A and B are shown apart, each in its own frame.
Chain A
Amino acid sequence: MLRITLKSVRGHFLRFLLTAFAVMVGTGFVAGTFVLSDSIRATLDGLFNQASKGVDVVVRGTETGAAGQASSGRAALPLDLEKQLAAVPGVKRVVPDLQGTALIAGKDGTAVRSGGAPGLGFYWDPQGQSFTLLDGRGPTKAGEVAVEKRTLELSGLAVGDTTQAVIGDQRQSVTIVGEVKFGAGTTFGATAVLVDAQSARTLFAPDGRVGDFQLEAADGTSEATLRAAVAKALPADAEAITVTDFNKENQETLGTALGFITTFLLVFAFIALFVGGFIIYNTFAMIVAQRTRELALLRAVGASRPQVRRVVLGEAFVVGLVGSAVGIGFGVLVAAGAKAALRSFVGIDLSSDLPVDALTVAVSLVIGTVVTMIGAYLPARRAARIAPVAAMRDDMSIPAKGLRLRGGLGLSGMAVGAGLVVAGVTRDDIAWQLVGPGALLVKGGAIASAPVLARPVIRVVAAPFAATLGVVGKLARENALRVPRRTATTASALMIGLALISALGVVAQSTKASVADLVAQEIRSDFVLSAGGGVAVPTSVGPAVAALPGVQSVADAVGFGVRTSDGDDLGASAGTAKGLGDNFDITMRSGSLDAIDRGEIIVNGDTAAEQGWTTGSKVSLAVGALAQKEYTVGGVFAPMQILATDIVVGEDLLEAAVPAAQRFNQGVFVKAAPGADLTALRAALVGEVKEFLVVSVEDGEEFQSTAAAGVNIILGILYALLLFSVVIAVLGIINTLALSVFERTREIGLLRAVGLRRRQLSGMITIEAVTTALFGALLGTALGVGLGVALQRGLRNQGLELLAIPWSTILVVLAASAFVGVLAAVLPTVRAVRLDILKAIATE
């Protein structure tokens, strides 16, 4: 039996090749995901181990508030603690962790950036082991910097050059005196600039506070011993931790943050495998149908049903194994692509190569093979049911079961699913527990009822072809409808991918429209100064801009964490009543915005409801790095999307709560004074921020489009990944067509004999492919748009207020599907036109 299986695979090599290809793409995603996450882990290991070389114990502030956008959620420690720590027996060296943001201007005068990664500032420690000097010398006085190797490469500058820099909050002219290499080889994409130790204190710890201290143990003192010794000497708001634990913590945090990438890829791996499953099913179903006689002969000469089933499943096993083995190689390519994408779009540079370990290989092989065998199971069962007498019969087809039951079940599944989705999205807050299963039911129902839908939809789609091309179009249509089940399965593969693409498209378009609308509604600023993802606007920009003539007020967008006495983590922003009131459309439900200028807090309406706070409540909070303290709720504001924060505090509180170096200002909102010349003001703003290198000035409209543009990048990545499922679907169309061309050899011979030209023949096959593809595309986009609209309705209170359907994208998708059909028809067409008419007619 094994020999028969292997012979069959060899005999039907080409057909199985396409199937194996589908397996390969799906498995490739799985393998790629594993490879990538291994690579991320390896890079992180190297990074943290290198960064903490020569460090044994870390002293840091105790946890106080929530880890906010830019606050560690830990108390900041006074720099003076350094002396105290140095006096502890067993401590060899104490290094305050002085770091902050730093950017230099490159040769072209713009800031040196790597994607969206941050620009980090460190200081040069001749005894430290994190950085190694490559060229020149370390900085020794203010105005000198050493630049990390890749950063220097990006800048186009060389050691000895002078350039502009923004370090901490200070803009200054600096001379590059040295080039350094980060020990781990990569800074994970961030740029790095080093200053001298003394400057670091003024630049990175202007308020005399620092995040942590790194301690090196004297020879013969272990990490644990040192930690215990140091712990005794610490004030109450500081703690000591061994570097081993410290690294582990950091790695977990960063690992979780990057975990989304692998989850993300796994989702697409699942989609790809699911779509691949359809193709596998279709291929095996067709091969079994074509081999009815052969399989019946096996039965007639004494093979049992399980044996016949095993022959087919054995073929699936071989194909799955081969496909997933090749898929592992493809997976390395996927991982390499993801690595390149991370580097160029996100600015994260993975230094580690792409490791393929035993687990990756095992998981990929098992998943690929199992999916293939699942896809082949039904056809195998059908093969086993072939009666031995079929070997003698002329009629080779297996009678198709009625579609009525299947169609009925599918349509009712769609109806129930649609009901669930509607029920889920019509309430105030989207009910995912209804929408999720509902959407799955709709999809499943659509897949089940696709054979029933095939007839009407294909008739419509093919109508223009039949009308213009006469009998060729008609033949194509009838061929597409000949085995509705097969056409439907083929089209379903495309449907799934396109449904996701168009649902995403609707949500994305709605998001863009809604964001733009929100910005227009909630922001009153005339200008917005921002630095783009990953880089903060220096804190000194706000005050500098506020002092310009023609500026009425400014508001900074600084986010930080707040923890309630119950341990709830909340998000907070800060500003002055005037700055916020002028720039944002804040509606106070009770109390007044002015309260923040008196040291009180104002609370988001939703948060107030959740916490049970009202105006006048006394609440205990740990704000930023401050310990728990009681604050008065001075007002409650209506929830809004732009100022989507739980709590707003005054600027004085911000100063006290978040060290300047840890403040991450996303933007400065500027309101012009009434009657100010906006053109002149803009010029003044541009002049003011020019030295800050990365800060750009946008007016309201520009800011709207920038705010919406972020969606495009994410959308681009999603589309690219979904494209793989479309590629698999194309393979499916090729496979189905190739097999049906093979099945119809005689018919094609006959048509050629009675005068069908080669071009007409290829036209016929191409139209069949195009109709099939369009059928899937129409079904997919209809489902996708429906789902997208439903999601928008459901998320209307979460920022997706406006519905926008990307018609142009949908048209492009439909046109592309038709093109995909043409593409898929190429190979089968070549095969068909090359058929020898005589042999074709004579084929049994």
Chain B
Amino acid sequence: MTDGHVTAGPAGAVAQAVDLTKVYGSGEAAVHALDGVSVEFERGRMTAIMGPSGSGKSTLMHCMAALDTPTSGTVVIDGVTVNGLKDKALTTLRRDRLGFVFQSFNLVPTLTARENITLPLDIAGTKLDQAWFDTIIDTVNLRDRLTHRPNQLSGGQQQRVACARALVSRPAIVFADEPTGNLDSRSSAEILGFLRRSVDEFGQSIVMVTHDPVSAAYADRVLFLSDGRIVDEITAPTADSVLARMRGFEPAGRQG
């Protein structure tokens, strides 16, 4: 963990994209999932990305998270320019500097909760920081579930394990893709509350894709995407202000 330093509070961009485009297909059938997006995610803040289905919000996150390669444009994560990196370097970048929480299927079914949490460290062969591990475990309240396998955990518990895994390597930034998409409202609140606390207490930077205004309200800043462009943003959002904003640019009213 060479770059485990995480500074609390806004201190410049932890990740940034410049003129990002992503085109699927070619010619007539070409779809511009991202159409010249330039954006900065601030260190120690939680940013939500919202937008209707097909707006490009997931594509943006995937490109920012080094999971997908943009057609053009530049992505810089924690001072590293991602463009042109080979698979090995990308993998190392993801392993050491990024954390992930997906909507579902976050855990390896054959590993216990504890093993799932320490997976990135084990893969890297890095020694576990026991104090930090304990802090996270207590925060997500999983101490009595560590030896359980994923199929012995509830959906909410599984997502808490996923969050703990995302944080355990002290990544520069955590990407969460609809982390509460499959959960009931109580579990959702737990997860979002936990993500919020990791920003407030540990200075973690988080980027979260969501379509739920309530979830977005946990963020410091909300970006709105439509047709592959950033069309708006709100800082210090509330559920109502987000909802109002969404109605404003989406007459169809359907969320994806």
Contact = CB atoms under 8 A, between A and B. Distances in A.
Nearest to B121: A471
Contact of A747 (B87, B92, B109): B109
A470 B87 CA distance: 22
Contact of B92 (A746, A755, A837, A841): A755
B201 to A, nearest CB: 23
B96 A755 contact: yes
Contacts of A475: 108, 110-111
Contacts of A754: 94-95, 100, 119-120, 123, 165
14 contacts: A471-B111, A472-B123, A475-B110, A478-B110, A479-B110, A746-B105, A750-B107, A750-B108, A751-B123, A753-B100, A754-B165, A755-B94, A755-B123, A837-B67
A756 interface: yes
B186 to A, nearest CB: 21
A377 B125 CA distance: 46
A750 B106 CA distance: 7
Contacts of A472: 123
Sort chain B's interface into a size bin: 20 to 34
A19 B145 CA distance: 43
A757 B110 contact: no
Nearest to A478: B110
A753 B94 CA distance: 7
B108 A751 contact: yes
A415 B134 CA distance: 50
B149 to A, nearest CB: 10
A755 B67 contact: no
Contacts of B124: 755
A472 B119 CA distance: 10
Interface in B77-92: 87-88, 91-92
Contacts of A221: none
A645 interface: no
B245 interface: no
Given A754-B95, A756-B91, A758-B88, A838 B111 contact: no
Interface of A: 470-472, 474-475, 478-479, 481-482, 746-747, 750-758, 760, 837-838, 841
A760 B91 CA distance: 11
B122 interface: yes
Contacts of B102: 750, 753, 841
Given A471-B115, A475-B111, A756-B91, A750 B105 contact: yes
B95 to A, nearest CB: 2
Contacts of B109: 482, 747
Contacts, number: 68
The interface centre, meaning the residue of B91, B96, B106, B109 with most chain A CB atoms within 10 A of its CB, is B91
Interface string B56-94: 000000100001100000000000000000011001101
Contact of B119 (A471, A757, A841): A471
A758 B100 CA distance: 18
Given A470-B122, A838-B67, 11 more contacts: A471-B115, A471-B122, A474-B115, A750-B102, A750-B106, A750-B108, A751-B108, A751-B123, A755-B92, A755-B123, A757-B91
Nearest to A757: B91
A838 B63 CA distance: 10
B123 A760 contact: yes
A838 B68 contact: yes
A479 B110 CA distance: 7
Nearest to B59: A838
Interface of B: 62, 67-68, 87-88, 91-92, 94-96, 100, 102, 105-111, 115, 119-120, 122-125, 165
Contacts of A758: 87-88, 91
A621 to B, nearest CB: 76
B105 A841 contact: yes
A611 B65 CA distance: 91
A615 B106 CA distance: 89
Contacts of A470: 122, 125
A841 B100 CA distance: 12
Contacts of A753: 67, 94, 100, 102
Nearest to B103: A841
Contacts of B96: 755
Nearest to B93: A755
Nearest to B151: A395
Contacts of A841: 102, 105
A758 B89 CA distance: 11
Nearest to B119: A754
A747 B100 CA distance: 14
A289 to B, nearest CB: 15
Contacts of A838: 62, 67-68
Nearest to B99: A754
Contact of A755 (B62, B110, B115, B120): B120
A142 B48 CA distance: 110
A479 B68 CA distance: 28
B141 to A, nearest CB: 22
A138 B221 CA distance: 110
A750 B120 CA distance: 11
A755 B119 CA distance: 9
B56 to A, nearest CB: 14
Contacts of B106: 750
A395 to B, nearest CB: 10
Contacts of A757: 88, 91-92, 123
Contacts of A747: 105, 108-109
Contact of B95 (A478, A479, A755, A837): A755
B197 to A, nearest CB: 22
A470 B128 CA distance: 13
Nearest to B105: A746
The interface centre, meaning the residue of A470, A750, A752 with most chain B CB atoms within 10 A of its CB, is A750
A768 to B, nearest CB: 11
Given A746-B105, A760-B123, A752 B91 contact: yes
Given A756-B91, A758-B87, A838-B62, A478 B111 contact: yes
A474 B91 CA distance: 20
A838 B109 CA distance: 19
A482 B123 CA distance: 20
B1 to A, nearest CB: 13
Contacts of A752: 91
A838 B61 CA distance: 11
The interface centre, meaning the residue of A478, A481, A753 with most chain B CB atoms within 10 A of its CB, is A753
Contacts of A482: 109-110
Contacts of A755: 91-92, 94-96, 120, 123-124
A479 B109 CA distance: 10
A750 B88 CA distance: 16
A606 B179 CA distance: 86
Nearest to A471: B122
**Nearest 7 pairs of A and B residues by beta carbon:** A755-B95, A478-B110, A471-B122, A757-B91, A755-B94, A746-B105, A754-B120
A471 B125 CA distance: 9
Contacts of B107: 750
A17 to B, nearest CB: 29
A750 B68 CA distance: 14
A747 B108 CA distance: 6
Contacts of A750: 102, 105-108
Nearest to A759: B88
A27 B15 CA distance: 61
Nearest to B106: A750
A470 B108 CA distance: 15
Nearest to B122: A471
A524 B96 CA distance: 78
A472 B111 CA distance: 11
A509 B245 CA distance: 85
B113 to A, nearest CB: 14
B161 to A, nearest CB: 12
Contacts of B119: 471, 751, 754
Contacts of B68: 838
A758 to B, nearest CB: 6
A481 B124 CA distance: 24
A470 B121 CA distance: 11
